A and B are shown apart, each in its own frame.
Chain A
């Protein structure tokens, strides 16, 4: 499938699943008995968090591929995934406190899950800042790949924090073991929302990657033109 057809497929699926997710969230999913309607933030907060993990897993994978092949295409993919991952983590860190204030009575607490998520965000903000400070493309790609790989250590820590330590953050409702679980209508809504946000992630990742590919193509053309000009001046 060509890049254009793939983009059309992703955009179509994004439109269909996002429309279905919004309809299910507001028309189908029941209102939670204790928290009330504010619980519906859960249907965007959790998919955003899982797709942020997906983004950082992609940074990890492409950084590894870059270090083993030194092919700049993997560096471009790692950068694009990191940017969308940071966007999604930012939205997780905004929607979480908006849910917490009416439910817990506080915006934020320094528990393991929340603190590690903030650390994760700072790590990948650092990754993006590092890329801006280094001018040499090869050196920038290598150092960024090292940060992208080591930074990923925090992702499993964030995921397992609520299982390993006693936290203020709610206990897992998916894959949480005995005594946990979701109402079937809530679970169906969550999974459709996860699909919608996964397509949103892929659509944004593809758009961001297109810009990097175009930038690289123009830089190659410019370098070739400059080299040809220099050759012409010498002869």
Chain B
């Protein structure tokens, strides 16, 4: 069972990291002033 959990977790983690990469790339495109987060 632990092998199965390891394999499915690896797939989930891989997809998660790729989605985070896309989000990071998208944020990198947005000029700093346009971002929603408050500026310091």
Contacts and interface: CB of A to CB of B under 8 A. Distances in A.
Given A41-B4, A102-B3, A204-B18, A211 B26 contact: yes
Given A207-B22, A208-B22, A38 B3 contact: yes
A101 B18 contact: no
B26 A95 contact: no
The size class of the interface chain A forms with chain B is 20 to 34
| Dominant SS among interface residues on chain A | helix
Interface stretch (A60-68, A86-94, A132-140, A142-150): A86-94
A208 B7 CA distance: 25
A87 B19 CA distance: 11
B7 A99 contact: yes
Contacts of A130: none
A153 B15 CA distance: 27
Interface in A139-198: none
A101 B29 contact: no
A40 interface: yes
The size class of the interface chain B forms with chain A is 10 to 19
Contacts of B4: 37-38, 40-41
> Which of A38, A48, A218: most chain B CB closer than 10 A?
A38
A204 B1 CA distance: 29
A91 B29 contact: no
A202 interface: no
Interface of A: 37-38, 40-41, 44-45, 48, 83-84, 87, 90-91, 94-95, 98-99, 101-102, 200, 204, 207-208, 211, 214-215, 218
Given A44-B8, A87-B15, A98-B6, 16 more contacts: A37-B4, A38-B4, A41-B4, A41-B7, A94-B10, A94-B11, A95-B7, A95-B11, A98-B10, A204-B18, A204-B22, A208-B22, A211-B22, A211-B25, A215-B25, A215-B29
16 contacts: A44-B7, A44-B8, A48-B11, A87-B14, A94-B7, A95-B7, A95-B11, A98-B3, A98-B6, A99-B3, A204-B15, A204-B18, A204-B22, A211-B25, A211-B26, A214-B29
Interface of B: 1, 3-4, 6-8, 10-11, 14-15, 18-19, 22, 25-26, 29
